[in-house]
Structure 1
Amino acid sequence: METNKIRLGEIATYVNGYAFKPKDRGNVGLPIVRIQDLTGNARDVGFYNGEYPKKIEINNGDILISWSASLGVYVWNKGKALLNQHIFRVVFDKGEIDKSFFVYAVRQKLKEMGTKTHGATMKHIVKKDFDAIEIPYPQINRQIEIARNMDKISSVIEKKERQLKLLDDLIQARFVEMFGTLDNPTQNFQTARLEELCSKITDGKHGGCVQEKGTKRYFVGAREIYDDKIHYDTAPEININEFEKDYKRCNVEIGDFLIVNTGATIGKSAIATDERTIHTLLQKSVALLKVRKELLNSVFLKWCYRVNTKMYMVESASAQANLLLSKIRKTKIYVPDINLQNKFASFVQQVNKSKFVIHKFLYCFIDNKQSIIKPRLNTKESGKIRGGKPHADEF
């Protein structure tokens, strides 16, 4: 017999936000919370000054779940605000559950939720699938105990993530020291448009693909690009014939620069380094830039984007920002001597060695954290805590 489980629809009511229009956004009133405001990718804050349904008001301590474009669970702590569409406010009006436990348990299920998303660029989870998702449901005192142990692990993880942030800040500072910004360069560097510095600038397949497990051909979208890497664990495998048909146009190779060009995570980027790169087909939400290596180092380009955010910032009247290929091609950047670019890339490589050690540490901790949330079979050992902490498979 398995540990007790409960469906999300049996725990709470999930209140969707309001579809605010661009004309509703102003400079006074209550802030409008969008998905990018939760993920940390927002570049502006909109306010609404008018009447609104009480149900879309959020306050400190409210649990929010984004269910479209970017799936996530968040604890709101920035005061009274109004909820935009594609985000649920969780109202715990059904089952008895500890809020912290709920947050950890649902976060663990996000990957499972991601496999049920629909659409190639605008990911969303269908409501009936959302309500049907099951999480472990032990007694309330056990929920609280597990949440406390998870808090301890999370504290260590956050400390290591701050260290990673400091290393990224170091790289960014070094870039500015060597090259300055596009508006204030350190030297009178030559300039050129990206279309002159790249042999190809394109995006991924427009539309979906037939999924087929075991092909080792991967369909990578915005969801898979974060932390400067391509994450293949959530990328669906697709039919080989479909892969071959579209790969020629957007043939990803080792050393290519990839950047998310739409949605809440616009601007996130990675350099292709994985051996699975040649078996990767991009979705439309990702742009591919093949640099001319005699002119441009892809590491330099990545940090040029990171430092000069105006390169991907776009004004959009629609709900979803889009970085058009035409804008990418016409973007003008400075072009330092390739030897100077390579010197910067060598510095990044040295810092990345320290980042790698931290990432290995984080991998072990995060893996342990995730394993705590997996239910185990009820045995005589079930429910026991070893050394004051839950067993790795317990929950």
Structure 2
Amino acid sequence: MIRSMNVHNNEFIYKDLAFIDDEQAKKLNNVIVEPEDVLLNITGASVARCCIVHNRVLPARVNQHVSIVRVNKEYILPIFLSYQFTNDSYQRLMRNVATSGGATREAITKQQIEEYEIIVPPIELQNRFNTYVQQIEQQKFLLQQSLSEFQQNFESLMQKAFKGELFPDAG
């Protein structure tokens, strides 16, 4: 069960996923998540956060705080829509919509989502955008990996320094 706490801007957070059994899942056939669906938080403080679901979390359902936006990939790619939804200007627009109408709680309705105007460039440009995003994500992954290794090495050196193992002949 995917909840709003799992949906962050262009990032799916696996922490605290809720698990349901097959019987519960059958009761939720109207909220089945499919590969590359765009997930959009539609209520509460996390309203307007958006990401694409990853295959490794499937099969899944969403709760009432998350909307599934399924695209026609002949016209718009999920990655392009997700990044469009998470653009600062679009985030402001969605938060303004969520707080309009005098509601006491932030919420976006299905009708409001359907009425959003989106930019749909030629699919070739979207494919190029997708390629750039993948390259950037790969670079981010490699940098995070390097940072983690650096941190481990630094901590190891600090432990050796405090134990006096760095310069055993000094003193």
- Choose which of 316, 325, 340 in structure 1 pairs with 2:110: 325
Q: How far off is 1:266 after superposition?
A: 1.5
Q: Distance in 2 between matches of 1:231 and 1:294?
A: 28
Letter in 2 for 1:292: N
- Counterparts in 2 of 1:1-395, with a 5 A limit? 219-226=1-8, 228-246=10-28, 248-277=29-58, 279-307=59-87, 308-313=90-95, 314=97, 315-316=99-100, 317-361=102-146, 386-387=159-160, 388=162
Q: Distance in 2 between matches of 1:323 and 1:291?
A: 18
**2:10 and 2:82 in contact (8 A); partners too:** no
Change (3 A) 1:362 1:250: farther
Q: How far off is 1:244 after superposition?
A: 2.0
Letter in 2 for 1:342: N
**2:36 and 2:55 in contact (8 A); partners too:** no
Task: Calculate the TM-score normalised by the size of structure 1.
Answer: 0.35
How big is each residue's C-alpha offset from its partner over 1:52-108, in whole Å with a ceiling of 9 and x where there is no partner?
Answer: xxxxxxxxxxxxxxxxxxxxxxxxxxxxxxxxxxxxxxxxxxxxxxxxxxxxxxxxx
How big is each residue's C-alpha offset from its partner over 1:160-209, in whole Å with a ceiling of 9 and x where there is no partner?
Answer: xxxxxxxxxxxxxxxxxxxxxxxxxxxxxxxxxxxxxxxxxxxxxxxxxx
How big is each residue's C-alpha offset from its partner over 1:5-32, in whole Å with a ceiling of 9 and x where there is no partner?
Answer: xxxxxxxxxxxxxxxxxxxxxxxxxxxx
**2:10 and 2:83 in contact (8 A); partners too:** no
Which structure has more RCO (C-alpha within 8 Å, separation ≥ 6)?
2
Letter in 1 for 2:83: W
Q: Distance in 2 between matches of 1:237 and 1:341?
A: 34
Q: CA RMSD in A?
A: 2.5
Which blocks of at least 5 consecutive residues in structure 1 are unaligned? 1-218, 369-384, 390-395
- Structure number, greater radius of gyration: 1
**2:10 and 2:86 in contact (8 A); partners too:** no
**2:52 and 2:79 in contact (8 A); partners too:** yes
Letter in 2 for 1:280: A
Change (3 A) 1:228 1:290: same
Q: Distance in 2 between matches of 1:364 and 1:220?
A: 32
Q: Distance in 1 between matches of 2:31 and 2:61?
A: 7
Q: How far off is 1:361 after superposition?
A: 4.9
Aligned residues: 152
How big is each residue's C-alpha offset from its partner over 1:318-373, in whole Å with a ceiling of 9 and x where there is no partner?
Answer: 4421011110011122221111111111111111111112343566799x8xxxxx
Q: Which residue in the other structure is 2:169 paired with? A: none
Q: Identity across aligned pairs (percent)?
A: 24
Q: Distance in 1 between matches of 2:8 and 2:146?
A: 18
How big is each residue's C-alpha offset from its partner over 1:300-335, in whole Å with a ceiling of 9 and x where there is no partner?
Answer: 111211222244122243442101111001112222
Q: Distance in 1 between matches of 2:57 and 2:86?
A: 25
How big is each residue's C-alpha offset from its partner over 1:79-138, in whole Å with a ceiling of 9 and x where there is no partner?
Answer: xxxxxxxxxxxxxxxxxxxxxxxxxxxxxxxxxxxxxxxxxxxxxxxxxxxxxxxxxxxx
Structure with higher strand content: 1
Task: Calculate the TM-score normalised by the size of structure 2.
Answer: 0.77
**1:311 and 1:331 in contact (8 A); partners too:** no
SS of the aligned residue for 1:312 comes to helix
Change (3 A) 1:252 1:363: farther
Q: Distance in 2 between matches of 1:300 and 1:255?
A: 11
SS of the aligned residue for 2:67 comes to strand
Q: Distance in 2 between matches of 1:364 and 1:324?
A: 45
Q: Distance in 2 between matches of 1:256 and 1:323?
A: 18
Stretch moving more, 255-264 or 356-365: 356-365
Change (3 A) 1:338 1:361: same
Structure with higher helix content: 2
